[in-house]
Amino acid sequence: MDGPYSLRSELWNCEVSESDAGGMVLHLAGKMEAGNSAAILKTLDHILRKRSITSLVLDLEGVSYLDDFGALVLLELKHLAAKLHADFSLVNAKDSVSRILTILKFESLDEKTSFTKKRPPNVFLRLGDAALRHSPGV
């Protein structure tokens, strides 16, 4: 187990603490946005792949801003934890961060969902001056 240590950049920082049992807590702070999301993910991915962890906790108390790219970083970390067979959790999110995660339906983002909707047979669609008829098997 390494002692707590910090990673810092201009817009974000992370304090890392580990337990003897293989748990890791990342105390994130600052902005998680489009401009720095790639750097955040690259840095944290590198740290996590070097360790054998049993759980990953992301403490979001210090996160002052989160956009959709920041949420994707969290989702990628969730997927990485699953690949490492580690439990994953988010804690201490501010209301503004929780709202973004709720709007994006963070908990269901990793579910496989089909976005193509089957049209019922014999439906007519009007596209400008053209009309199309959808008939299955014809």
Q: Domain containing 77: what range?
A: 5-134
What is the domain count for the chain?
1
Q: What is the CATH number of the domain that holds 128?
A: 3.30.750.24
CA distances from 8 to 11, 31, 50, 74 (A): 8, 12, 19, 18
Model confidence over 7-53: pLDDT tens digits? 777 789 999 999 888 899 999 999 999 999 999 999 999 999 998 89
**pLDDT digits over 57-92, tens only?**
999 999 999 999 999 999 999 999 999 999 999 999
Give pLDDT, residue 112: 45
How deeply is 135 buried, as exposed, middle or buried, from its count of CB atoms within 10 A (0-12, 13-18, 19+)? exposed
Task: Kindly tell me the burial class for residue 73, based on how many C-beta atoms sit within 10 Å of its own C-beta (0-12, 13-18, 19 or more).
Answer: buried
